[in-house]
Structure 1
Amino acid sequence: MRTPVRPTSLGLLLGVLAATVGATVYVTAIGYLDLRASSIVGGALLSWDGSTVSVARLRAPVVDHLGIAVVTALAVWPLWHCQRAAATRWHQLPVWAAAATTLALIAWAVASTTLPYSALSASLDGATSRMDGGVSDPLVIAWTRQGALSLATPVFVGVLAVLALARPGARRAPEPPMAEVAIEDEPSSR
């Protein structure tokens, strides 16, 4: 039986830092994709800087929703791998850090946003209005706010909670017992 490997302080710090940055990038990417999906449902096409490029026919934002699913899978996979390979509860610290960061971003967005909120309140001339929830934040802050208010983000936190509460290495197969077996030759019958 192997003894559990205790992680180093530097390893824990780097894991927590990577999970915190990863969760922030995840929320921002979800915000960008969610904003594009909302604009397509509203009949507008947005450029990278958030300005309206053209008015388009109404359609379902299938590609953007598929992008949200792919980004979520890419964010969950390393944390799932971290939990699955965990030998002790210390190895799960990055999962807890990602969940805490995402919850903090959700709390920030809910506390600092006047509801009803719509990031797509720009009029045709490009001016935004604070009366109808217009975006007056820098673009990355607007994407992060939109991502924190997106419905995909609480689902991500729920998946992280399940990962964090699971036993470390729960799906790992037990090591097979090592036993020696003696095989005797049968006497030849002559």
Structure 2
Amino acid sequence: LMAGLSPEELELTGIVLGYPEDSIGRRMSPEFVRLHPNFTVSEAIATARRELDNAETIYTLPVVSDQRKLVGIVSLRDLMRATDDTLVGAIMSRPEYVSATDSAELAARRCADQRHLALAVVDAESRLVGIFTVDDALAILEEEDSEDHARIAGTEPLRHPYLAAPILSIVRSRIVWLLVLAIGATLTVQVL
């Protein structure tokens, strides 16, 4: 599968796969538009327009220093409201971000609860490494809710194929419902 990727896609895939499995680093997009605080609004819009096809989102744009450190966030709405010669640094707001090693579920809940369109993802040195959109957050929350419902209903997937799984692990994963049904059957027989 990796052999069919272009060198650029291979590099991006390597970056994402370098993070722990359930971390936000695995679910982020490393393709985003970077702005600099010294850009004018017209330069920022031109940059967003130029990188539009490769970016995950342009509605929330991270602002980074020369060392790639996240210093702020600017929305497309703020760019449209400002005059062309206004500096991005003057209209940017405090950055909302998560660490690349944070739990994907917690980051998704934060994104959804605080109604962010996107969160910046930073590494241990506060360097911007990706962007996490609300679409990604909602997909993660839907997956987590499905897993929770399956676990509650006793239908969660087994670690092994069903016929190859030891009978004890199958019983253990479904014991609550087996007991409820056994008690229900006993009561039904007593009534009849």
Q: Which TM bucket (shorter chain)? A: under 0.3
The higher radius of gyration belongs to 1
> Which structure's residues are more often strand, by fraction?
2
Q: Higher relative contact order by CA 8 Å / sep ≥ 6: 1 or 2?
A: 1
